[in-house]
Amino acid sequence: MRPRHSRAPARGERRRRRRGGEAEADAARRRRRGGGGVSGSLPFFDRVLFPDTSPLAPATEEEAATAAAADEEPASATEAREETETEREAWRLLRRAVVSYCGEPVGTVAAEDPECTETLNYDQVFIRDFVPSALAFLMRGETEIVHNFLLHTLQLQSWEKTVDCYSPGQGLMPASFKIRTVPLDDNKEAFEEVLDPDFGESAIGRVAPVDSGLWWIILLRAYCKITGDYALQERVDVQTGIKLVLSLCLSDGFDLL
C-alpha cells in the first residue's frame, strides 16, 4: 500500500505553481495599468495632472521604445491633420467669447448668445466653466490667456478674515467676474477697467462658490506642467493663495457669504 503522504509533495508543487502563475498574471496586469513603467503611455491628462504616477514594475527597453514612439505619433499626426469645419467653427465661437482686461485676454464668458436679451450672469467669466476652455488653449499652445486668468483671479481672492455673514470668508475664490468700466477719479471723461467679482450674489440660492478655489489649483497645475513655467506656482502670492484655499476646504466648516 502506498504511503498516504506520498501525494503531498505533488499537491504542494501544484499549489506553488498556481501561486506563481497568479503572481505573474498580477504583475502583467500591473504593467498594463502602469503603462509598462513609462509615463508616456499614460493618458494625456494623467500625465498632466498626476505626473508622479509611478509604475509598479520596471519597463523593458522594447516597452520604453514603443511608448516613446506612441508619444511622438499623435504629435506628428496633429501637425499633419487639417482642422475640420466643425473644429474651425468651435474655435471661432470660443474666440468670440474671449474677454479682455486692459488689452489682455483673461478668460471666456460662460455663454455667448447674440439673440439673448436677458444675459443674467452668463456674460461673466466663471472660474469653473473656464477650465475646459483653458485646457483647449493650453493644448493649442496659447498660454497667455491662462496665465492672465490665474493671476487676475488670484487678486480677487478674499484674504481678509471676516466675522459677518455678508462678506467672503478668508481664502474664498469668486464664482465669476466681469469687466466694468468706471470713471477715473470722478472724471467723467477718463475711464478705467476694473474686475468686479461675484461671490455668489448672482447665483441661484446665493450659494457660496466653495469649489472655485479647487478648480483654480487644478488649472494652475495643468498650466505649469504643460508650459514648464514652474516659477509661477513658486511665487509668494500664489503659494499664499493655495494655502488659503486648502485651509478653507479642509476646515470643519466653510465660511459662507
Q: 3-class secondary structure for 51-100?
A: CCCCCCCCCCHHHHHHHHHHHHHHHHHHHHCCCCHHHHHHHHHHHHCEEE
pTM value is 0.65
Q: Give the pLDDT score at 87.
A: 92
Q: Are β-strands 98-101 and 187-198 bridged in parallel, bridged antiparallel, or unpaired? A: unpaired
pLDDT digit string (tens) for 165-199?
566 778 889 889 999 888 887 777 788 889 998 88
Residue at grid coordinates 514612439 = 69
Q: How far is CA 165 from the centre of its chain?
A: 30
Angle at 108 between CA 211 and CA 214, to 5 degrees: 15
pLDDT digit string (tens) for 84-116?
999 999 999 999 999 999 999 999 998 877 676
| Residue from 42, 40, 47 nearest 226 by CA | 47
Distances (CA, A) of 67 to 7, 24, 46: 47, 22, 15
Q: Give the pLDDT score at 122.
A: 81
- Alpha-carbon distance of 6 to 84, in angstroms, equals 73
pLDDT digit string (tens) for 193-230?
899 988 877 766 667 787 899 999 999 999 999 999 99
